[in-house]
Copies of this chain bind each other. A is one copy, B any other.
Amino acid sequence: MPPLKTSSNKSIGIKEIAERANVSIGPVDKVLHNRGGVSKATRERILQAIKDLGYTPNILASRLKSSRDYTIAVLIPEATEIIPFWLAHNTGFEEALKEVSPFGINISILTFEQNNEASFKLRVDEVLHDGYDGIFMVPVFYDETIRLLQHYKDLNVPVIFFDSNIPGLSNLSFIGNNSKDSGYLAANLLDYTISKKGDILIASIERKEDNHIQFSAREEGFLTYFKNTGRRILRFTDNTGNEQTISKGISAIFNDNPHLEGIFVVNGIDKIAAAVTPAQKCNYRMIGYDLIEKNIQLLKNGAIDFLISQQPQKQAYQGIKLFYDYLILKKPIAPSYYLPLDIVMKANIDYYRFL
């Protein structure tokens, strides 16, 4: 039985196409790139030859010759002390660049303040003015996002959203997690780890600089799971950010609800986890989001039981490679790419730290 060789015997190039169509390579290239200046008849012959011989362009040679550069603008919130989350994307960008930069793909990272529409607008202005070959962005502010999309729609420049999505717009694609499903997953998992009659608390730290759409979706998914189960669900929301206040609030809930067994933290799990004493901790399970360093420590010392990763690095990596697929390989792009919802716990955290 002969081994399954995956190589094509003899690669056919534009020369072979030209020969088969009885023309020189000039018109072939024109047809391939829709550059016009080819009579209808020969155009047909060339297209037929391409079909017959199964031409696949040699991207190496193509790239070598036309050293056209593609610059992707990356519109991403600034990582801060409070929200270090956005730092994680960088390793993904770097990794992707290693693979695609030989093909002339560069990125310009344009950061903005997540709670400051003016700073976002400034970046959009910049992007519109400078003219990029692709936009990879977190669509935080609706109106400005629309403005950007409208400008680039006519230019046929790919705009891909990541992290959070605004459905129904003219962006080429979205890459990220399904927030609602992640909430549903958290509920499913929490349900497994507490007793049938235990109560559940949904907690969150609300900050103006956060992306509320995503958080609502998480909660919605979570509640969907428990709909009609008779499970008692409590709610705690802090918008002070003050440790004392949070601590008191949580303690009060604990005292008032002896049957509390699970906590689902929509956002700011480090703050919530800090508000709980180890003595209290042994009585409930806590699940939340984001594999940032602080949370990883809390997971390791047992203050948090489960984290759901949004895989920022992977979003960044795959996102940039989507531009490579689209711009260089001319592959079709799906309207959305949902990354797996990874469940991370103490026993497998080390395998998720650097990816």
| Chain A interface (Cβ < 8 Å from any Cβ of B) | 3-7, 58-61, 63-64, 69, 71, 73, 97, 99, 101-103, 106-110, 126, 178, 181, 184-185, 187-189, 192-193, 195, 225, 285, 305, 338-343, 345-348, 351-352, 355
Contacts and interface: CB of A to CB of B under 8 A. Distances in A.
A70 B195 CA distance: 57
B108 A181 contact: no
10 contacts: A3-B126, A4-B109, A5-B106, A6-B107, A7-B101, A181-B351, A188-B346, A192-B193, A193-B193, A339-B351
A200 to B, nearest CB: 15
Contacts of A342: 340, 342-343
Contacts of A225: 347
A305 B343 CA distance: 14
Nearest to A67: B11
The majority secondary structure among interface residues of chain A is mixed
How many copies of this chain does one complex carry? 2
A341 B346 CA distance: 12
Contact of A347 (B59, B188, B352): B188
A126 B3 CA distance: 10
Residue from A69, A71, A343 whose CB has the most chain B CB atoms within 10 Å: A343
A347 B339 CA distance: 14
Contacts of A355: 340
Given A193-B192, A285-B192, A347-B181, A6 B106 contact: yes
Contact of A348 (B58, B181, B193, B347): B181
A58 B6 CA distance: 25
A109 B6 CA distance: 9
Contacts of A193: 192-193
A28 to B, nearest CB: 19
Contacts of A71: 5, 7
A74 to B, nearest CB: 9
B4 A347 contact: no
A108 B5 contact: yes
A305 B192 contact: yes
A204 B123 CA distance: 58
A31 to B, nearest CB: 22
Contact of A108 (B4, B107, B178, B341): B4
Given A338-B351, A340-B351, A347-B189, A6 B184 contact: no
B192 A347 contact: no
Given A102-B59, A347-B185, A3 B109 contact: yes
A189 B107 CA distance: 41
Nearest to A3: B108
A333 to B, nearest CB: 15
A348 B352 contact: no
Contact of A110 (B3, B64, B126, B184): B3
Given A63-B60, A64-B64, A192-B305, A69 B347 contact: no
Contacts of A351: 178, 181, 338-341
A225 B63 CA distance: 53
Contacts of A107: 6
Nearest to A107: B6
Contacts of A305: 192
Residue from A106, A109, A192, A195 whose CB has the most chain B CB atoms within 10 Å: A192
